[in-house]
Structure 1
Amino acid sequence: MSNRRIDSPGFYIAQLTRLHRKALAAEVEELGVNYGQISLVMQALSCPGKSQDEISNTLGIDKAATARRLAALEKSGFIVRRENIENRRQKLVYPTDKAWNIEERLRTVLEESKERSFRGFTPQEREQAIDMLIRMVDAYRESLGQPPFEEKDNA
Structure 2
Amino acid sequence: MQFSKFLKVAAVTLPLIAVTACTSTGSKKVVGNVSLPNDIQAQIQKLQQINTVYFDYDRYNVKSEYSTLLNSHAVFLRATSNLKVTIEGHADERGTPEYNIALGERRAAAVKSYLQANGVSGEQLSIVSFGKEKPAVLGHNEAAYAKNRRAVITYDGF
Q: Which of the pair has the greater relative contact order for Cα pairs under 8 Å at 6+ separation?
A: 2
TM-score, structure 1 normalization: 0.28
Comparing both structures, which one devotes a greater share of its residues to helix?
A: 1
Structure whose residues are more often strand by fraction: 2
Q: TM-score, normalised by structure 2?
A: 0.27
